[in-house]
Amino acid sequence: MKKTAALLYPRSTAARQAVSLDGMWKFRLDTQGSGIVDGWKDGIGPADTIPVPASFQDFFTDKNSREYTGDFWYETEFFVPPERKGKSVYIRFGSVTHRGTVFVNGAEIARHEGGFLPFAADIAKRANYGGSNRLVVKGNNELSETNLPVGRTTSLPDGRKAAKPYFDFFNYSGIQRPVRLLALPKTAITDLSLIPRLNGDKAELEYAVETLVETGEEMEARLSVLDEEGRIVVEAQGAKGVLAIPNPRLWKVRDAYLYRVWARLYRNGELLDEWYEDSGLRTVEIRGTELLLNGESVYLKGFGKHEDADLIGRGYSLAHIKRDFELMKWIGANSFRTSHYPYAEEVYLMADREGFLVIDEAPAVGLFDTTNNALDTVRGKKKVPFFDKETLPELLETHLKAVQDMIARDKNHPSVIAWSLFNEPEDTSETAIPYFKAVFDAALDSDPQKRPRTFAVIMFSRPDTSKGCQFSDFICLNRYYGWYVLGGCDIDIAEQALRSELDGWKAQHLNKPFMFTEYGADTDSGLHKLPSVQWSQEYQIEALEMNHRVFDAYDFIKGEQVWAFADFQTGEGIHRLDGNKKGIFTRQRQPKAAAFYLKNRRESLPENYKSRSNI
């Protein structure tokens, strides 16, 4: 992602203006794939209306619209004030899933691939200042083996396209995150990197300001750090430096303290640009089998999640963000993984404020031929060597860019304590090794704070077969003993099988923390059964209890993130009851019986559970 001032989180300041373009836009499915030929870039013609931001699928009542795969078009009008002329003017998209082409007043001005990260379209030369402008976006949600998340697109007998995901969540798409019109100065801040350091009771903040400066222009960078009361605690001049923070307040688990870091550019005393980041003083370190925050051991208690809700699909919703954090606080959680893609930026801002620990995950899910093939491999039926494919070089290029762009966006969030670079890839073939090395190296090179790196290990990948775990700073296991494997009346056998596997990992002497990033059981929130059966609320609790007994027996297990926070939508199938029902909460964010059990467990475990001082 090319660094521009527009890719920083959009804030209005004395030098910048950010105006929301969200609202009801025109919308049209391009069922014939003829939109370009028919000139829709100049206006999409007869159209429906649809909210932006949101996924488009669940607003419609016919299956063809919900399952639509191909091009789709949006249109709206916006006004650019005349005083914006001479500035850098952009339209910034929080995301367009999975790819988008942007037209302003009939001219193509930007293309972007990747549906979970922001991009900006420079409209300065195409805008009509002091008048109305037409914005048209052509989106596309087709899946392939060279883009993330991975899947394929097929053709049905009647000519319609169909998405075939290699992942187990619904392929929601559209303009799913906010759209803003930005007016920025020509000489501008394009990036700010922050690296906190602690030494005893002292704290330092290393900073680096990057700028876009017109040739030969002299300017001065200044930095100010303010406490939560708005008082300046330290100031500095220069684009790079290290600041000593007096009487530092640390950012802690569920006890967050945020400093506001202002970066400003001046020329001869005149303010050219300013932008701020709210930052916390905290360090993250892996030492042996412990995860340390500010030098103290922490045990992760949390969830795998999805951005998923009724009607809006994967669309941005501040209401759901607020509710989710309140539920996580109620249940005693301290962490979550952004399975299986980077979330909206506002989620991280909330995590920063609330003191939650985030494993930030790239959209690298589906690095297997199909979910069914993954399950077949678990059952010993076959093995698909994904990393032998001819399309691998192009996929790797896409993957590297996704990782680099994710880190560029999220690198300053104190809540982000680790990068997850894959979810459940096929990692047992020798050909996986160079691919994994390239991705893990890119993450290390991209992150100024050098956070730990990991990936979620699929169930078939075992201590003696995994080729990817050698690169992880800590090991994340997705395991479904008692559900997909040895479920129901075989749950006692499942417990022994899980213990046997963990004994195998222990014998590897990896000297790394292990965490369970997925475990659990599907549950119909209305089903009760005594004695329990699979899908009953009673069985979900029994499955959780079984897993927790095992976790508690191994000192190197340093975290548990149950799958999943809430029920979520998937594709249709006889193994799914209108979606994945492993949620501790329903899709409407109401507790199942397991929520009360889990609340008792989470509240009973100290934040430093299993630290060496407690063992």
* pLDDT tens digits, one per residue of 517-547: 999 999 999 999 999 999 999 999 999 999 9
Domain with CATH 2.60.40.10 in the chain: 188-279
| Residue of 290, 424, 426, 560 with catalytic role | 424
Half-sphere exposure of residue 182: CA atoms within 13 angstroms, side-chain side:
29
Domain with CATH 2.60.120.260 in the chain: 5-184
- Is there a contact between 140 and 98 (Cβ–Cβ < 8 Å)? yes
The pLDDT confidence band at residue 615, using thresholds 50, 70 and 90, is very low
Give Cβ neighbours of residue 505 (< 8 Å, ≥ 6 apart). Answer: 463, 475, 514, 556
- Is there a contact between 487 and 453 (Cβ–Cβ < 8 Å)? no
pLDDT reading at 368 higher than 70? yes
- Is there a contact between 168 and 580 (Cβ–Cβ < 8 Å)? yes
pLDDT tens digits along 209-259: 999 876 667 889 999 999 999 999 999 999 999 999 999 999 999 999 999
- Is there a contact between 47 and 26 (Cβ–Cβ < 8 Å)? yes
High-pLDDT (> 90) share of the chain, %: 93
Which is it for strands 99-104 and 107-113: parallel, antiparallel or unpaired? antiparallel
Token pair, residue 577, equals 């009851």
Collapse the DSSP code of 442 into the 3-class scheme (helix H, G, I; strand E, B; otherwise coil) and give the result: helix
How much is the pLDDT for 214?
A: 67
Buried-state track 251-266, b at ≥16 Cβ within 10 A, e below 16: bbbeebbbbbbbbbbb
How far is residue 491's CA from residue 576's CA, in Å, rounded to a whole number?
21
Mean pLDDT over residues 441-454, rounded?
A: 98
- Strands (E) across 13-85 are located at 17-20, 23-29, 48-52, 71-80
How much is the pLDDT for 445?
A: 98
* 518 tagged catalytic: yes
Best CA proximity match to 241, nearest among 226, 269, 271, 261: 261
Write the class of the CATH domain 5-184: mainly beta
How much is the pLDDT for 396?
A: 98
- Is there a contact between 300 and 335 (Cβ–Cβ < 8 Å)? yes
Domain with CATH 3.20.20.80 in the chain: 284-604
CATH 3.40.50.11540 fits 188-279, yes or no: no
Superfamily of domain 284-604 in CATH is Glycosidases (3.20.20.80)
Which is it for strands 557-563 and 514-518: parallel, antiparallel or unpaired? parallel
- The residue with tokens 């119909």 is 524
How much is the pLDDT for 574?
A: 86
How much is the pLDDT for 213?
A: 79
CA distances from 360 to 347, 407, 423, 580 (A): 11, 9, 11, 22
Collapse the DSSP code of 221 into the 3-class scheme (helix H, G, I; strand E, B; otherwise coil) and give the result: strand
Token pair, residue 434, equals 């160079």
Mean pLDDT over residues 125-146, rounded?
A: 97
> What are phi and psi for residue 418, nearest 5 degrees?
-165, 160
| Residue of 145, 274, 277, 518 with catalytic role | 518
One-letter identity of residue 345: E
How far is residue 599's CA from residue 583's CA, in Å, rounded to a whole number?
14
Beta bridge pairs of residue 418: 359
- The residue with tokens 């370190």 is 285
Higher confidence at residue 374 or residue 444?
444
- Is there a contact between 121 and 175 (Cβ–Cβ < 8 Å)? no
How far is residue 161's CA from residue 141's CA, in Å, rounded to a whole number?
10
